[in-house]
Amino acid sequence: MAPTLDEAMKRLDMALGLLEASVSRRMEADRRRGGLETELQLMQDDRARLAVELDGALTRLNRFEAAADDVSRRVRQAIGAVESVLAEAGQLAQAGQLEPEEG
């Protein structure tokens, strides 16, 4: 039995409906993928910016640590100098070379 024109039109209509649905799904997937690619690019840009900021922060930290070490060294030297002066003053006072201060 040969299909009638109505049956052929129904099959064609059904095939077109499936094709339209498939095209819609594909377009939606492409749109989502484009959104994901955009989001990925933004994340990569953020990562690069954060890496630059981190490098700058580490550089500043290293400078601060070097400055702190320098200050610590100078304070230790000053303490040593003060202790030497006090020790020498104590030895002079014990030897009677220093006159006691009047208060």
Every domain of the chain and the residues it spans: 31-88
Residue 16: the pLDDT is 94
Which tens digits make up the pLDDT trace of 3-32? 788 898 999 999 999 999 999 999 998 888
pLDDT band at 58 (very low <50, low <70, confident <90, very high): very high
Could you list the beta-strand ranges (E) of the chain: none
C-alpha span between 51 and 73 (Å, rounded):
33
Q: Does the pLDDT of residue 90 top 80, yes or no?
A: yes
Length of the chain in terms of residues written: 103
Rounded to the nearest integer, the mean pLDDT of the chain is 89
Residue 99: the pLDDT is 58
